[in-house]
Amino acid sequence: MKNTFRKNKTELRKYWKNYIFQSVIATFSIFIILLILRFSNAIVIASIGATVFVIFAMPSNVTARPRSVIGGHLTGLIVGSLINIIHFSSFYIEMLLLASSVGLAMFIMVMTDCEHPPACGTALGVAMLGFSWKVALTIIISSIILSIIHTVCKKIIRDLV
């Protein structure tokens, strides 16, 4: 634990400008998305917040690629929408269906090479809320905006994790 702290302290001293700059870009990115979309659904927007972390804290990670971000969130949107259509009167079956939205989204993302962990949150959120064009546009537009910002900034940002 002590060595990890020492390593992090050294990294922070050496790359403190990156830590600040990338945190500011992350804040600015989510601010722009919230301004443009004016979307108040916390369940779905929370997964977009997690995407911001992946993109700006681990920009060279495979999960930060535009293919993963956009493909992952689209997968989550589709899987969540399909799971939401299925209704059972049993509470336990409903909970099993909601849980299966995460497992199925994960399976499809891995099979299609568009792994993006926050998109499992999208699948769960949409499975709970159901499909709406407002939710779909929020997810799609957010994914595209973040992927564009990531691509533009990729040469000036570094992995912080």
Question: In this predicted structure, what is the pLDDT of residue 96?
Answer: 95
Q: Is residue 44 part of a domain?
A: yes
Convert the pLDDT of each residue in 55-111 to its tens digit.
Answer: 999 999 999 999 999 999 999 999 999 999 998 889 999 999 999 999 999 999 999
Q: Is residue 159 part of a domain?
A: no
- On whether the CB atoms of residues 7 and 82 are closer than 8 A, the answer is no
Q: Is residue 56 part of a domain?
A: yes
Please give the structure tokens belonging to residue 138: 């929020």
- Within 8 A by CB and 6+ apart from 84, the residues are 126, 127, 128, 129, 130, 131
Number of domains in the chain: 1
Q: Does the pLDDT value for residue 33 go beyond 90?
A: no
Convert the pLDDT of each residue in 35-54 to its tens digit.
Answer: 877 665 667 788 999 999 99
Q: Is residue 158 part of a domain?
A: no
Helix (H), strand (E) at residue 24: helix 2-37
Q: Is residue 161 part of a domain?
A: no
Question: In this predicted structure, what is the pLDDT of residue 159?
Answer: 93
- Alpha-carbon distance of 107 to 94, in angstroms, equals 20
Q: Is residue 57 part of a domain?
A: yes
Convert the pLDDT of each residue in 101-148 to its tens digit.
Answer: 999 999 999 999 999 999 999 999 999 989 989 889 889 999 999 999
- Alpha-carbon distance of 26 to 149, in angstroms, equals 10
Domain of residue 17: give its range: 2-153
Whose tokens are 């911001």? That residue is 52
Question: In this predicted structure, what is the pLDDT of residue 44?
Answer: 77
Q: Is residue 63 part of a domain?
A: yes
Cβ neighbours of 132 (radius 10 Å): 13
Q: Is residue 88 part of a domain?
A: yes
Going by pLDDT thresholds of 50, 70 and 90, the confidence category of residue 12 is: low
Question: In this predicted structure, what is the pLDDT of residue 147?
Answer: 97
- Within 8 A by CB and 6+ apart from 60, the residues are 158, 159
